[in-house]
A and B are shown apart, each in its own frame.
Chain A
Amino acid sequence: MYQYDAFDQTLIEERAAQFRQQTTRYLDGTLTEEQYLPLRLMNGLYIQLHAPMLRIAIPYGQLNSVQLRKLAEISEKYDKGFGHFTTRQNLQLNWPELEQVPDILDELASVQMHAIQTSGNCIRNVTTDHLAGVAQDEIEDPRPYCEIIRQWSTLHPEFAFLPRKFKIAVNGAEQDRAAIQVHDIGLQIVKNENGEVGFSVLVGGGLGRTPILGKQIRGFLPKEDLLTYLEAILRIYNLHGRRDNKYKARIKILVKEMGIDTFRDLVEQEWNRIKDSSLKLTAEEIQRMQSYFVSRTLDDSAINDEQFQRQYRSNSEFAIWVDKNLVEHKNPSYKIVYLSLKAPDVPPGDVTSEQMRQIAELADQFNGGHIRSTHRQDLVFSDVKLSDCFELWQALKEINLATPNIGQVTDMICCPGLDYCALANATSIPIAKEINLLFDSIDDVHDLNNLTINISGCMNACGHHDVGHIGILGVDKKGEEWYQITLGGSASNDASLGTRLGPSFHRRDVVNAIDSILNVYVEERLAEEPFLDTFRRIGLEPFKKRAYEVNQAA
């Protein structure tokens, strides 16, 4: 994991002090509401439905146990004793007092954390594959590049007032686990014919009101040119992006209106001007960053650990957890372990302060003190010895983090919705809860192998509904909560946006409709066919027919 040096530390301390000063000016009336707004947003502070919401950055999902303990303390001291992991791998506190936010930032700075650029019309927290560095299908670890991007984008003097928010994701493996096709810029690590590492660059993807998949702007970008190329894209966007309509201000609209070829010409022209400037990365810098992410010396003695096999054979509950929540590590002596934040009775992504503390303990004991957050709102221990898995499982069960449902139908992505969010049209957490009630047992859940449900409370799509196999979107109809359902979305290599099922459903019918859709899938699938394949094979009609039939009868 990256470690701050004196420069990094000074910056976040100065930024925290600056925010304290800005907040003081706002509270004494020197700064207007309008002027304070972008300043607080750039520091992750929203004013929510009930209280302010503070979004704390977890750069590309990497966290250590010291930081998590601090988060436990902060959420207890300044909030109601829990936090919420978001789809950008960050952590949100839903109830801090505005006046106390500067103190929170000071506390965060003491453990190399901050809330810089987690919101606002600037470059947001860069995200990546949560299996980076340990996945079997990896071309190269994306995290060193994420850190390079994090530093370059932090308080960038030119790009703090963009037309709209700007999200960058990096993927280093063959499988896209970072949803790069639905980001403003998506970077895929590739090797060219000479075996050199670089990036395939996508631009103009995004969810929200106009969901679009990104287009390739460059097939191979040498890694040294990463920052100059990003800077060129951002400059062209900053100068040409629309500012007359906030719904048309994302880069995806600019690329669409201008056409990818014209946009590419402008970017390449600018890039040619600056590609050999001092911003060109040096081999030393890339190596320095890589040195922070070398995998910990791994002990091979546990290969084919007999004990693990025995435990697996003799305890079926453990075996189910292993099958569902563990992933192969590139070193066969280890497993990658998911901690499910989707227990049936808990709002998706929520963690209590007490759980945070216990996770930190377990991370120290079993995972070298490291924790990762995922864009599906779960956590990951990336290097657990085979021989430790059983003990870890028992401990996780105690704290309700061992629900064996990773990648399953109840591992829903769900935004805070009307329970917290000022922009929401409808609730999302209660919908997730009710969907959970559709399943009598975990076996029912497992029967629907590989099906994801994503829920957003409004068009802003924080719950990524457009790329859920099943997507649920809250809409407002004359003050009532209604929901639109989409089918067939995906955020992976085969990325696609969901197709609308038809007219939206009333709050009381939407979960019935989901039930009908699941039933159609179960009846129509061939053998082990995943939902997405069934949907692509049989199309929308059968699902549509049943969902509306049942609801009319009701």
Chain B
Amino acid sequence: MKLIKQHKIVEDNWMRLADDAPLADGSIIVSYGRWQQDKDQILGRSNGEVGIALCAEDDVTSLAEELDKISLITLHFEKFNDGRSFSQTRWLKEKFGFKGELRASGAYIQDQILPLIKVGIDSFEVPDEFSLEAFQAAIREVSVQYQTSTIEPSPLFRRRQLSVN
């Protein structure tokens, strides 16, 4: 597994903590369930940031009030065709104003990378054999976008108006 962020392969400084593993210092990613259960202990550690692994079933709204304590959220795809993570990402970024890192993990496929970036994903966990070139090709596949997105916050109809005026 490796991590791609801002179009580069980067070091992953986060440690994934299994639900039954003892709490550790440092930057850890815990499941949404563990976060619900051990919130106080997790926040009471002497050092390290908090990341949460969110699945499509998890209630993203319940995190709204706690986001200032969280530095990373991974949107985890158990099935690549479960599209809820797309709307969850959008809500985290736009509605709840999450400022930390949003990361895609799990079974999503390369054809979803560009739309994921568009809804607000910052980084991608990819299999070791997945190359940076493939990543870069994937995000270049379709250059036109009608809707609003984090890459281009203005819908095409507004940009068209600018280009003729």
Contacts and interface: CB of A to CB of B under 8 A. Distances in A.
Interface of A: 5, 7-8, 10-11, 14-15, 17-18, 21-22, 31, 35, 38-39, 121, 148, 151-152, 154-163, 227, 235, 238-239, 243, 273, 277-279, 281-282, 284-285, 288
Given A273-B95, A278-B153, A157 B141 contact: no
B146 A284 contact: no
Contacts of A11: 142, 144, 146
Main secondary structure of the interface of A (DSSP, over half): helix
- Among B95, B112, B144, B158, which residue has the most Cβ atoms of chain A within 10 A? B144
Interface residues of B, number: 37
B92 to A, nearest CB: 12
Contact of B144 (A14, A22, A279): A14
Report, nearest first, the 10 A-B pairs whose CB atoms are least far apart: A161-B83, A157-B115, A157-B118, A11-B144, A285-B157, A151-B146, A158-B86, A238-B87, A18-B141, A14-B142
Interface string B131-150: 00000000001111111110
A122 B151 CA distance: 22
B157 A10 contact: no
B84 interface: yes
A161 B81 CA distance: 6
B82 A14 contact: no
B154 interface: yes
24 contacts: A5-B160, A11-B146, A14-B144, A15-B142, A35-B80, A38-B81, A121-B81, A152-B147, A157-B149, A158-B119, A158-B147, A161-B80, A161-B81, A161-B82, A162-B83, A163-B83, A238-B86, A243-B84, A277-B148, A278-B153, A279-B147, A279-B148, A282-B161, A285-B161
Given A18-B141, A161-B80, A282-B161, 9 more contacts: A7-B144, A11-B146, A14-B143, A157-B118, A157-B119, A158-B83, A158-B90, A278-B158, A285-B157
A155 B142 contact: yes
Contacts of A5: 160
A296 B142 CA distance: 35
Contact of B147 (A10, A156, A288): A156
Contacts of B95: 273
A281 B155 CA distance: 10
Contacts of B82: 161, 243
A18 B90 contact: no
A154 B156 CA distance: 12
A7 B142 CA distance: 11
Nearest to A18: B141
- Among B82, B88, B156, which residue has the most Cβ atoms of chain A within 10 A? B156
Contact of B143 (A10, A151, A162, A284): A10
A152 to B, nearest CB: 6
A15 B115 CA distance: 13
Contacts of B91: 239
B25 interface: no
A7 B158 CA distance: 13
Contact of A239 (B88, B112, B161): B88
B111 interface: yes
Contacts of B81: 38, 121, 161
Interface of B: 56, 80-84, 86-88, 90-91, 95, 109, 111-112, 114-116, 118-119, 141-149, 153-158, 160-161
B158 A282 contact: yes
B114 A157 contact: yes
Given A277-B148, A278-B158, A285-B157, A238 B141 contact: no
B156 A7 contact: yes
Contacts of B155: 152, 227, 278-279
A160 B115 CA distance: 9
A282 B142 CA distance: 25
Given A160-B83, A161-B86, A238-B84, A152 B142 contact: no
B144 to A, nearest CB: 4
Nearest to A122: B83
Contacts of B143: 10, 14
A288 B164 CA distance: 12
B86 to A, nearest CB: 5
Contacts of A155: 115, 142, 145-146
- Among B91, B112, B147, which residue has the most Cβ atoms of chain A within 10 A? B147
Contacts of B157: 148, 151, 281-282, 285, 288
Nearest to A8: B144
Contacts of A18: 111, 141-142
Contacts of A162: 83
Contact of B87 (A38, A235, A273): A235
Contacts of B146: 11, 151-152, 154-156
Contacts of B56: 243
Contacts of B90: 158, 235
Contacts of A277: 148
Contacts of B119: 157-158
B121 to A, nearest CB: 10
B141 A278 contact: no
A544 B95 CA distance: 56
Given A35-B80, A281-B157, A285-B157, A157 B144 contact: no
A243 B146 CA distance: 27
B48 to A, nearest CB: 31
B23 to A, nearest CB: 31
A110 B92 CA distance: 40
- Among B95, B111, B153, which residue has the most Cβ atoms of chain A within 10 A? B111
Nearest to A11: B144
